[in-house]
Structure 1
Amino acid sequence: MLLEEMLNELGAVVAAQASTVPEAIALATRGGFDIAVLDLNLGGEKVFPVAQALKATGLPFVFASGYGASEVPAEFAGCPVVAKPYDIERLASALTNSLSASAK
């Protein structure tokens, strides 16, 4: 909820939320949004299959994690990670960087 509040504060519109990896993969393949914020742990599962689906469609994403960047596999090493506790400035920077990188 805190993350959603921060996104709203930054002027973002939350298009959808998923509580399971299969649900998130379905949303990722459907698209209809500009960027995704992925918690590393979604319903007790690692979210990396969702990141792979987003990467395949070319949609940018940011990881949100209580674990830190050390839990992100090498294939996603360049993806921004926002660590908990969330900070709105770091979130804004990560979103901007991810959107900028995908525009290139």
Structure 2
Amino acid sequence: MSKLAGKRVLIVEDEAIIAFAIEDMLVELGCVIIGPALRLDEACDLADTELIDAAILDVNINSERSYPVADRLHQRGVPFVFATGYDREGLEWRGSDPEIIAKPYRRDQVQSALERMID
């Protein structure tokens, strides 16, 4: 059984096909899915109201940055990973040093990143 079994993971991704692919990966690992949030306002609402153990945030959500979600999670002490095609220097979020996974996602990358954050 995965270390992630039962962990509540927020998915923020504006491309439905990618969001559902991540959801499938996480369900296979035993995670409980929050979302997926396809819009920034929806993601902010979930970040404010849901019990979350970790999150995967696409940096770009419908031409906006997901930084408001990152800020909310950071304030709540919820670890998250940015998913992006950018390198670290391309990120403009100025909170803690975030974990980053590159697109396209691989299950082992997602699993390792989440396990490091939650452990």
TM-score normalised by structure 1 residue count = 0.83
State yes or no: 1:17 paired with 2:32.
no
Residue ranges of structure 1 left out of the alignment (5+ in a row):
none
- How many Å separate the matches in 1 of 2:103 and 2:32? 21
1:74–1:45 Cα change, 3 Å: closer
Q: Structure 1 residue 27 and structure 2 residue 46: aligned? A: yes
Structure with bigger helix share is 1
Q: CA RMSD in A?
A: 1.7
Distance 2:43 2:90 in 1: 19
Whichever residue aligns with residue 8 of structure 1, its letter is V
The 4+ residue runs of structure 1 with deviation greater than 3 A are none
Give the structure with the higher percent strand.
2
Inter-partner Cα distance in structure 1 for 2:117 and 2:88: 15
Q: Give the corresponding residue for 2:4.
A: none
Evaluate the alpha carbon distance shift between residue 10 and residue 32 of structure 1 in structure 2; reply closer, same or farther with a 3 A threshold: same
Cα distance between partner residues in 2 of 1:76 and 1:14: 25
1:95 aligns with 114
Q: In structure 2, what is the Cα distance between the partners aligned to 1:55 and 1:32? A: 14
Find the aligned partners of 2:112 and 2:94 in 1 and give their Cα distance.
21
1:5 partner letter: D
Alignment of 1:22-101 (within 5 A): 22-73=41-92, 75-76=94-95, 78-100=97-119
1:79–1:98: 8 Å Cα contact kept in structure 2? no
Percent of paired sites with the same residue? 37
8 Å CA contact retained: 2:67, 2:93: no
Structure 2 spans left out of the alignment, 5+ residues:
1-19
How many positions carry a matched residue from both structures?
Answer: 100
